[in-house]
Amino acid sequence: MSQSTPTMPSLGKQVLICAAMCAIAATILVIWPLPAEAWHGTFALSRLHQLLAGAALGLIYWGIAEAAYRFLPNGKGSQTVIDSYNELGLSGWRPLWISLAAGVGEEMLFRGALQPHLGIWVTSALFALAHLRGYRIRELNRTTAAQLAGLFGVSAALGALAHFGGLVTAIVVHVMVDVAGLLIVRRAAAKAISA
């Protein structure tokens, strides 16, 4: 059984954070309702088509992430993220459960409740700021600026997916991006231990 650290929450805390984000999203949506078409995206995809589109895009990302991990050098920023996320204890099915909690909670809050009212850019800035602790960003330097820009870019891409393809598409892609990332972190940590 792994211990939680002050930097990264345990799996139980991740699930509670997801539930809290969903509750906040639900509260926002009760106070500030959305039109029905906001849930289906500009392309008005059915839930099944959103699921399939999300899975296809998630698999494409996964392939790119695997290739990048194998063929590109990892810098200090990558190692910091690997160390930080490895503290979650990524054995067994934990990467999937953590990814589901983060993907559902964050997408419901940021893309489902906030983006339709605040827009992609403001929501993406809030998303990047919400990840400061997990990425151990304590001071702004070249590495942390690149990490924040990457988080902003990922959020903007997820925002575009939600806007055009629907919320389910963004949730599925987010979950698959996180699963791919956590499995790469698990592999990198195991590789560092065996080296």
Contact 159, 167 (CB under 8 A): no
pLDDT at 111: 93
* pLDDT the model gives residue 3: 42
pLDDT for position 1: 40
pLDDT in tens, 111-128: 999 999 999 999 999 999
Structure tokens at 106: 């964050």
Cα–Cα distance between 49 and 30 in angstroms, integer?
27
What is the pLDDT, as a whole number, of residue 162?
94
Please give the Cα distance from 77 to 111 (Å, whole number).
Answer: 27
Q: Whole-structure pTM over 0.75, yes or no?
A: yes
Low-confidence stretches of the chain (pLDDT beneath 70): 1-9, 36-38, 74-78, 80-81, 86, 134-137, 195
Q: Residue 121: what pLDDT? A: 97
Nearest to 134 by CA among 195, 181, 167: 181
